[in-house]
């Protein structure tokens, strides 16, 4: 089925939201669970009814949409670190798309996580550790390698490491969705006025 601009901005907001959560954990050791849950939820959505449903309830990626607006307008501030991670995740997803062996492994890992999901809450440490291991086995072996910077005390914490890796996996999943609905990196450069309008429309609707 054809996809519209709103589908694309939802997928893009999914990447921004995952990255924003990563930065929050790396810097402060915590993040908003309401922002993190849609990212992890998306990992289980293999045959979602539509793009919005990938992230759960309508408005689930409002946080990511606000990050898009900030990045494009500089209000309240332009976060260059966030933009850099978003671009790296897009590049990583393109590398992954050429590795069917790793795509199969990720699919198997998500299927295994679905069985665990029957016994654990969405953000349970066991599930996040599962996704973190899956990221380490697959995406961390590819270029570009993503090095997350932040407070060393937070980055040394195993639970924080697991949350960050699970979110990076979710970010790549959103990047894959972005490409599947017709998104590309040049659109961010050449069609940012349209993206900004769509992000604001999404925020206002929710």
Q: Quickly list DSSP for the chain.
A: ----HHHHHHHHHHHHHHHHHHHHHHHHS---HHHHHHHHHHHT-SS-SSHHHHTSSTTTTHHHHHHHHHHHH-SS---HHHHHHHHHHHHHHHHHHT-HHHHHHHHHHHHHHHHHHTTS-TT-HHHHHHHHHHHHHTGGGSSSPP---S-HHHHT-HHHHHHHHHHHHHHHHHHHHHHHTT--HHHHHHSHHHHHHHHHHHHHH-
Residues of the chain with pLDDT under 50: none
Q: What is the pLDDT of residue 2?
A: 63
pTM above 0.85, yes or no: yes
Give me the percent of the chain exceeding a pLDDT of 70.
Answer: 99
Superfamily of the domain at 5-205: HflD-like (1.10.3890.10)
107-161, pLDDT tens digit by residue? 999 999 999 999 999 999 999 999 999 999 999 999 999 999 999 999 999 999 9
Nearest CA to 23 out of 171, 191, 141, 150 is that of 150
At residue 3, the pLDDT reads 80
């Amino acid at each position: 089925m054809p996809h519209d601009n709103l589908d694309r901005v939802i997928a893009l907001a999914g990447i921004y939201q995952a990255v924003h959560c990563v930065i929050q954990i790396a810097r402060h050791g915590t993040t908003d669970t309401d922002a993190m849950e849609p990212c992890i939820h998306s990992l289980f959505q293999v045959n979602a009814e539509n793009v919005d449903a990938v992230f759960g309830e309508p408005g689930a990626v409002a946080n990511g949409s606000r990050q898009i607006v900030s990045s494009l307008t500089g209000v309240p501030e332009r976060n260059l670190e966030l933009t850099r991670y978003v671009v790296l995740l897009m590049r990583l997803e393109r590398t992954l798309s050429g590795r069917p062996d790793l795509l199969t492994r990720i699919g198997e890992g998500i299927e295994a996580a679905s069985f665990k999901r029957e016994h654990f809450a969405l953000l349970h440490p066991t599930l996040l550790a599962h996704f973190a291991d899956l990221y380490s086995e697959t995406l961390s072996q590819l270029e570009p390698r993503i090095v997350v910077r932040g407070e060393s005390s937070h980055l040394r914490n195993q639970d924080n490491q697991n949350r960050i890796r699970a979110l990076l996996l979710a970010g790549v999943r959103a990047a894959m969705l972005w490409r599947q609905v017709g998104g590309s990196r040049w659109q961010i450069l050449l069609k940012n006025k349209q993206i900004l309008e769509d992000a604001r429309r999404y925020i206002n609707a929710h």
